[in-house]
Amino acid sequence: MTALLIGKEPGVPLGFTYVREPPYDAVVIGSLTLGELLRFREERVLQALSQGKSVYLYTPGLPQSDQNRALSGSLTAARRELKNWGVLFTDGGRKRLITAEEARTMKAQGRHPTASSVLTPLAKEILEGSD
C-alpha cells in the first residue's frame, strides 16, 4: 500500500511504501513544524480527505509547547481540528493500524483485530460486514 508522505518519514514503520507524487492510497503526515500545525492548510491532505482517502498523522512528529500555556492551547485546538476533519492519529508503535486491505484479509481468515488496534473507517465497515 502506498502513502503520500508529508514532512519527515516516521521513526517507525507504519506499513506503507512512501511516495512523493500520485498515485497513492493514503497520506501520512510524518512531521509538522509549529507554524505548519497552527496554520494547517496542506492542499494535498485536504484533497485526499475530500476524496475519502485515509490521512494519518504520526503523533511523535508533532511539536509541543510545554512552557507557553497559550501556545499549548492553540496547538491542542489545531490537533482537535485535524481530528474533526477525519485525520487519524497514530504513534506507530503501541497501536496497530488496520487498513481496508488488511481488514479484508483478516475477515477472510476469520481473525479479529486486537483491542489496541486502530481501524480506518473503511476497515471498520469491512469487519462489521458492510463490505
Other residues' Cβ atoms within 10 Å of the Cβ of residue 26: 21
Q: What is the pLDDT of residues 45-102, one digit of tens each?
A: 999 999 999 999 999 888 888 889 999 999 999 999 999 999 998 887 666 778 888 8
Task: For residue 11, give the 3-state DSSP assignment.
Answer: coil
Confidence of residue 131 (pLDDT cuts 50, 70, 90): very low
pTM of the model: 0.71
Per domain, the residue ranges of the chain are 2-94, 95-131
Task: Give the model's confidence band at 130: pLDDT under 50 very low, under 70 low, under 90 confident, else very high.
Answer: low
State the CB neighbour count (10 A cutoff) for residue 20.
Answer: 8
